[in-house]
Structure 1
Amino acid sequence: MRVVVVGGGIGGLALGAGLRRRGFEVAVFDRDTDVAATGGYHITLDERAQSALRELVSPGTMQRLLASASALRLRDRDAFWDRRGRLLGHGPDLGGDSGIDVDRITLRTLLAEEVGDDLHLGRTVSDVGHGDDGAPRVRFADGVAPVSADLVVGADGTRSLVAQHLAGGRTNSPAGIVGFSGRTLRTDLSPGEQQRLGPRSGLAIGPRGAALYVGFLDPVGNAALDAPELRTSVTTGPTYIWGAMFPESDATDSLRALRDGELQAALLGRFRQQGWAERTLEVIARADPHSVAAYRFHAASTRAHELAPWPAGRITALGDAVHATPPTAGMGAGAAIRDAADLLQHLGRVTAGDATTAEAVNRFEAGMRRRGSEVLTLAMRTVRLILATDTALGAAATSVATPILAAATRLRHRRSMVA
């Protein structure tokens, strides 16, 4: 059985790795010329995503991943702050959490190694359809001969050509937020900010839809697997990978045209205009300017029956191509990996003679709709919370409520110290 995968992001590479490992004939095509040429936040993989990944890659690659990942159980509890940097509360105890955080570049590189020479970089797919014989076929922008397959899988992200072909239009829309990300070494921060932020992730929300997520990544000191000889992480010490968020507007959209230090300065100016304290902005001010980038949040429907709205056949899609998910739940990449493992399992029934390709795809898409709805519902809760502050009432409520919450948190802390 020959499978063509369009797109070499996390989901596409995970599927390609699993197919190759199980003996399928596979080809993965991606327009990038370098798998390390990728940005975004770090990736969180819960136990379900890790379990799926174990079905797709070799044990050796899984060990290298864990040795290159930061364990959530070794972090302090997540924190919630206001725009002044006042503590509003904490998340749950992570001591028993088996989740990990890993650099997107690290994960993508490991997956690409698993796919090996079945990965074809620098190949942009321009069209997908069926040949005269009814077999799925993809065509390329460079005019190279089309490629046919028994199954074509679109793993080509939020602007998926494959999913648009199947659905007859876009499968997602802008979520109403523009995100800005960057990387800051913990040692580059002042002692006061190192202590306030701590070895944890956190979220600060202010009026008018301004928010700042600060994620902590340390695959050396907080390694999920203590095996330095296997470590391949691009992050080599305690690092904050942060994401600033603003509602879409003409002013916000104008920032997307900026790059590097110019974008960094404009972000700081925007937060200052909205009354954020200087200490809360230090993580942005001391970031590597070349790491600062902008991107738009996209989201598919949270309703399962509206995902993958096409009859099952020999062309399908997975991951963000179907259930585009904002990064506000940290589950998008994990869901794509779970999609890949589930599709591989169903295709195994085809090769065993227990199902047709259409039957296998139909069962896969049913499960993918449920997974997509689950992660989208969680991600959109945070998006809606942020957008709710971008109204006159929401801004006023945020300004009034956060000092009260901060005072209550301080009081609880003092009482616990006395007790």
Structure 2
Amino acid sequence: MHTTNGSQRLHVVVVGGGIGGLALGAGLRRHGHEVAVFDRDTDVTATGGYHITLDERALSALDRLVAPEVLRGLLASGSALRLRDRDVFFDHRGRALGYGPDLSGSKSIDVDRITLRVLLAEAVGADLHLGKAVTDVGTGADGRPRVGFADGTTVSADLVVGADGTHSLVARHLAAAPTNRPAGIIGFSGRTRRSDLTTAEQRRLGTRSTMGIGPRGAALYVGFLDPIGNAALDAPELSRSVTTGPTYIWGAMFPESARTDSLRELHGAALCTALLDRFREHRWAAHTLEVIARTDPGSVAAFRFNAASTRAGDLAPWPAGRITALGDAVHATPPTAGMGAGAAIQDAADLLDALSGTALTEAIERYEARMRERGGEVLTAAMRTVRLILATNTTLGALATAALCPLAATITRYLCTAS
């Protein structure tokens, strides 16, 4: 630990090169700290997921972490929510049940996960070390945190931060137990070009995000992504977008069960066919399934929803010290609120701010208190949808869904006509 102009210059090791870890690494480097980010991946473009929503709070946090040109590149590569249609909630027959808020004044963006990770990795630069799998974390004889790697090497630091996701080795070390558990849902996602859908379905889905929920826990999210036509910043020369045309990113969700788990063993066209069959069993209208039927089979992947406690007091259940964690390592969040990556970025910015001019343990204590509060907020929002989906999987929930959806659709249609 060094002192420069009254501020402490720390040697920080970040375990994990996902969005939160890279954001923290970029911020630490920009503000003069010595940092090393380690990740088991050998290629930053080899990442799961497709798109990330960053709201105004996440973008403000990034503004504190990265140089202005990085943020400009992100905005030039992002799809602006203010240019989209209002979100719609559908039932399994494709009937509109309600609308989301007016986004015309929103500063939020959607961006390709690969694009964001690449931009942040470039901001970290030579301080990012790929192909380094962490296998052990602890404290050395000198009292400093120590990290061990699969290749037998070790490194010590003033501060170690676990940004290693849902199955975090660092958080498990701190908590002496898992920090999250399965949320009860298995998700399947893919990409479909808008031009591959029929004109009628393009019109129904529009340029927005939609959520469809039916009886027996079957749900389908469809998000619109167009970083070229709907760019948040009109600077095509700066665009690093992976998506080059209007695209729907979809996510199918089913309650976890032996039958659902078996779908995870399928891939490509076989998985698409199995998903379509499952929705048809639950009497989803054929047109609502076009986005799956016409997807790129190679883009389809499966993943389990994991979630930490929604109670802030349950998060980060360890005393503040020289090892801490951020993002999903602490508050693993299902994707149902689109807030997980943004929360990890805000964690990174808060940690960087806390390290300025304060004793290290006090800084970590202040940071973790804020992180717990934010984690509880995003988890509460995400779990509302998870619980709604699971509620429809009961006998009563299935009957209520089938009975109430037509009524809600009629009311929505009447209100739209009246206005």
TM over 0.5: yes
2:4 equivalent in structure 1: none
CA distance in 2, matches of 1:129, 1:311: 15
Larger deviation, residues 40-49 vs 330-339? 40-49
1:9 equivalent in structure 2: 18
Q: Give the alignment partner of residue 267 of structure 1, picking from 267, 275, 290.
A: 275
Contact 2:66–2:123 under 8 Å retained in 1:
yes
2:372 equivalent in structure 1: 369
CA distance in 2, matches of 1:382, 1:226: 34
Q: Give the alignment partner of residue 391 of structure 1, picking from 391, 394, 404.
A: 394
1:315 equivalent in structure 2: 323
CA distance in 1, matches of 2:401, 2:323: 47
1:227 equivalent in structure 2: 235
> Would you say 1:195 and 2:197 are equivalent positions?
no
2:107 equivalent in structure 1: 98
Unaligned runs of 5+ in 2: 1-9
Matches within 5 A, 1:402-413: 402-413=405-416
1:139 equivalent in structure 2: 148
Larger deviation, residues 403-412 vs 199-208? 403-412
- Residue 217 of structure 2 aligns to a residue whose secondary structure is coil
> Would you say 1:70 and 2:79 are equivalent positions?
yes
Matches within 5 A, 1:121-160: 121-143=130-152, 145-160=153-168
1:23 equivalent in structure 2: 32
Larger deviation, residues 407-416 vs 332-341? 407-416
After TM superposition, give the deviation of residue 347 of structure 1 in Å: 1.1
CA distance in 2, matches of 1:260, 1:61: 35
Contact 2:50–2:114 under 8 Å retained in 1:
no
- CA deviations on 1:223-242 (whole Å, 9 max, x unpaired) are 10011111000001111001
2:178 equivalent in structure 1: 170
Contact 1:173–1:298 under 8 Å retained in 2:
yes
- CA deviations on 1:11-38 (whole Å, 9 max, x unpaired) are 0000000011111110000011111111
Contact 2:29–2:124 under 8 Å retained in 1:
yes
CA distance in 1, matches of 2:176, 2:108: 37
Deviation above 4 Å: which 4+ runs of structure 1? none
- Residue 138 of structure 2 aligns to a residue whose secondary structure is strand
Task: Give the TM-score of the pair, scaled to structure 2.
Answer: 0.97
Structure 1: which amino acid aligns with 2:392?
A: T
Contact 2:79–2:231 under 8 Å retained in 1:
yes
After TM superposition, give the deviation of residue 243 of structure 1 in Å: 0.5
Task: Give the TM-score of the pair, scaled to structure 1.
Answer: 0.97
Contact 1:173–1:300 under 8 Å retained in 2:
yes
CA distance in 2, matches of 1:96, 1:25: 39
CA distance in 2, matches of 1:93, 1:317: 35
CA distance in 2, matches of 1:259, 1:318: 32
- Residue 368 of structure 2 aligns to a residue whose secondary structure is helix
Contact 2:40–2:132 under 8 Å retained in 1:
yes
Structure 2: which amino acid aligns with 1:191?
A: T
CA distance in 1, matches of 2:380, 2:98: 23
Contact 1:41–1:243 under 8 Å retained in 2:
no
1:47 equivalent in structure 2: 56
- CA deviations on 1:93-138 (whole Å, 9 max, x unpaired) are 1111111111111100100000011101111000000111111000
Contact 2:15–2:160 under 8 Å retained in 1:
yes
Matches within 5 A, 1:350-365: 355-365=358-368
After TM superposition, give the deviation of residue 410 of structure 1 in Å: 2.1
2:45 equivalent in structure 1: 36
Contact 1:11–1:333 under 8 Å retained in 2:
yes
Larger deviation, residues 391-400 vs 84-93? 84-93
CA distance in 2, matches of 1:57, 1:138: 26
1:352 equivalent in structure 2: none
Contact 2:322–2:360 under 8 Å retained in 1:
yes
